[in-house]
Every structure is written in C-alpha cells, then in structure tokens.
C-alpha cells in the first residue's frame, strides 16, 4: 500500500486520544477515514475538529457485533471500499481483585477483547476483498502484568494472543495484521486530562506516524507485533 491517497480506513474509538491521532495522520496522507464513538455527538465533534471533507463520524459501541456490522457497512457505502481497520477503542479499570467489581471486569473484557473480536468479525470479508490491513491497539500491559491490573492485563494479554492467531489465519488472504503494544501515551485514557506533565509520553500523532509507516512498508514484510515505549522516563512521576 505504498500510495495511501484515496484508501479508506475505519478506526474504532476515534473521538479522542490515540484513535484521533491516527485519524489525523491518515487524513494527512490523503486517506478517507471513518471514526467511531459510543456517542454520535462526540464522533461528530471530533470530525469537526479534524476539519477534513474525507472524514465520516459514526456512532457505534464495539461491545455490539450488530453495531459494528452496521458501522462497517456505512463506511463501505460512503467511501466505496475499506482497506484499513484500526481496532483501537478501549477502556481501563484498575484495582485489586478483591475490590474489582463484576461490572468493571465485564466492561473491560467486553470492550478491549470481545469488542475487537466484533470489529474483526464485522470487517473480515471486506478486508478479504481489498487485501487490506488490520491493526489492533493492545498495550505493554499485554505482556507485562502489574498489581491492580487483573482486568486490564487479562484483556490485553488476550488481545495480543487473539491478534497473533488472527494474523496467521488471514495471511493466506493477503491481509496483513499487526498488534501495536504502546507504553504510556498522552491521552484521555481512564479519564486522564493530558497536560504539560505528559510531554515525556508517546503522543497520539507518534502512533499515527507508526501506522502510516506500517501501511507503507514493503508488502513482503510484516511486523506482526510491535512494542513501543517512551524513550525517556522522568525521574519523578
């Protein structure tokens, strides 16, 4: 996919943070981009901020397969094709197992793991047609476990395993699959308000650049699992 101009991407959770940053980078390359949010208002307001005629704002909750099927159909009918799917939407609930509620556990797994399954199921036949690219946004929490991380670690360890198996399933259709595993990123994750203390972190546009580089890499090569971290960690946090 050396020339991205006119190619079409679908990004779950593009209303803010990493998904928004990836959308910005892909639009800059001349791609047409659909972004989703659980809220139509948030999706529309993000699309206005992106200020580009090639953006489509959609309401879809990744926890629902039918909602994802509907959003993928809308993307294909608006832009005529679909080449790139970025399964990015995610939530974080952190706490020790004795305090972790069933609701927090379910929301984490249903969004970060089953949500990606839903996005992939909804898009796999369209990606076969375009011989496209699927990228999941996992986390370093998909390989490093930590205290208070039971739900989040479970969702991201699961997502890394899921994506690697899917990569092998889809390679024979010339669909490329990569999981990106970021460390700390400056975003609104877990209701964080990004500010001047976050400049040491990976910025969403850095991951946008990484996605562009992946899409443009020589088709004979597939970086299937990428760990990415801030190059410097401040002494005091």
Ligand X SMILES: NC(=O)c1ccc[n+]([C@@H]2O[C@H](COP(=O)([O-])OP(=O)(O)OC[C@H]3O[C@@H](n4cnc5c(N)ncnc54)[C@H](OP(=O)(O)O)[C@@H]3O)[C@@H](O)[C@H]2O)c1
- Residue numbers at the binding site for ligand X (CB under 6 A): 12-19, 36-39, 42, 61-63, 88-91, 111-112, 115, 137, 139, 182, 184-185, 187-189
Q: How far is the CB of 22 from ligand X (least distance, A)?
A: 9
Strand partners, 137: 180
Measured torsion, CA atoms of residues 25, 34, 168, 130, in degrees rounded to the nearest 10: -100
CB atoms within 10 A of CB 148: 14
Q: How far is the CB of 53 from ligand X (least distance, A)?
A: 21
Strand partners, 37: 59
Nearer of residues 193 and 235 to ligand X, judged by Cβ: 193
Residue reference for tokens 């006119």: 6
Nearer of residues 14 and 158 to ligand X, judged by Cβ: 14
Residue 17 to residue 92: CA distance in whole angstroms: 13
Q: How far is the CB of 133 from ligand X (least distance, A)?
A: 18
Residue reference for tokens 């976050």: 198
DSSP 191: G
Contact call for residues 179 and 224 (beta carbons, < 8 A): yes
Nearer of residues 61 and 75 to ligand X, judged by Cβ: 61
Could you list the active site residues?
152
Residue 65 to residue 115: CA distance in whole angstroms: 8
């Amino acid at each position: 996919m050396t020339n991205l101009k006119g190619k079409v991407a679908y990004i779950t959770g593009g209303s803010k943070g990493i998904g928004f940053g990836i959308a910005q980078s892909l639009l800059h390359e001349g791609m047409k981009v659909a972004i989703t949010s659980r809220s139509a208002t948030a999706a529309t307001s993000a699309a206005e901020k992106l200020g580009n005629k090639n953006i489509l704002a959609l309401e879809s909750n990744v926890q629902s397969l039918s909602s994802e099927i509907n959003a993928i159909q809308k993307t294909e009918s608006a832009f005529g094709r679909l080449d790139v799917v970025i399964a990015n939407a995610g939530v974080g609930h952190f706490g020790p197992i004795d305090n972790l509620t069933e609701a927090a556990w379910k929301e984490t797994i249903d969004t970060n793991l089953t949500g990606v399954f839903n996005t992939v199921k909804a898009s796999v036949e369209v990606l076969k047609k375009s011989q496209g690219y699927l990228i999941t946004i996992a986390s370093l929490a998909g390989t490093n476990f930590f205290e208070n991380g039971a739900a989040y670690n479970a969702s991201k360890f699961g997502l890394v395993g899921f994506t690697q198996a899917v990569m092998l399933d889809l390679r024979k259709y010339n669909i490329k699959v990569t999981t990106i595993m970021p460390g700390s990123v400056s975003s609104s994750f877990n209701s964080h308000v990004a500010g001047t203390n976050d400049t040491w972190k990976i910025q969403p546009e850095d991951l946008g650049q990484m996605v562009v580089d992946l899409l443009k890499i020589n088709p004979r090569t597939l970086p299937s699992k990428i760990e990415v971290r801030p190059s410097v960690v401040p002494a005091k946090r």
